[in-house]
Structure 1
Amino acid sequence: MAESDDPEQKPEAKMPDADARDRKRRKGTPDAAFDVWLRRGLHAMFDEVAQEPIPEELIRLIEADRRK
């Protein structure tokens, strides 16, 4: 019987190679570590500023713009 070109008949056609699987597994880890580092750094730099009250003049400007 002749060999078929149907991918269903060739299991290796459906499975990614080991290198591709390893790259997929490693990809999430550095991104997650970077996200944690960035989040902590941004909080350290800007939490105090974000907790300050909004200046009255800025609130007036925003409200005036909404009425336009």
Structure 2
Amino acid sequence: MSDDQASSAKGKRDMPAARRKGRRGRDAAPDAAFDLWLDRGLNAMFGKVAEEPIPPELLAMIEKSREKP
């Protein structure tokens, strides 16, 4: 890889996500609308599941795994 290619690739990684170009050359800003749509859809489908209490057995397993080094 030439120095120009390396600096170009590094510049793209350092660029804020909102300024990166998508696959089709569009700005990434419309992704916010997609993220909102996805968040609302997932919440509508799985919101009640996420509100359920965590089973005590699972909590005990998590606590037990934290105690081990």
* TM-score using structure 2 length: 0.53
SS at match of 2:29: helix
Give the superposed CA RMSD.
Answer: 1.8
Q: CA deviation at 1:24?
A: 6.1
Q: Does 1:57 align with 2:57?
A: yes
* TM-score using structure 1 length: 0.54
Consecutive unaligned residues in structure 2, runs of 5 or more: 1-24
Kindly name which structure, 1 or 2, has the bigger radius of gyration based on alpha carbons. 1
Give me the identity figure in percent: 57
Aligned residues: 44
Q: Which consecutive segments of 4 or more residues in structure 1 shift more than 6 A?
A: none
Greater relative contact order, per chain length (Cα 8 Å cut-off, separation 6+):
2
Which structure is higher in helix share?
1
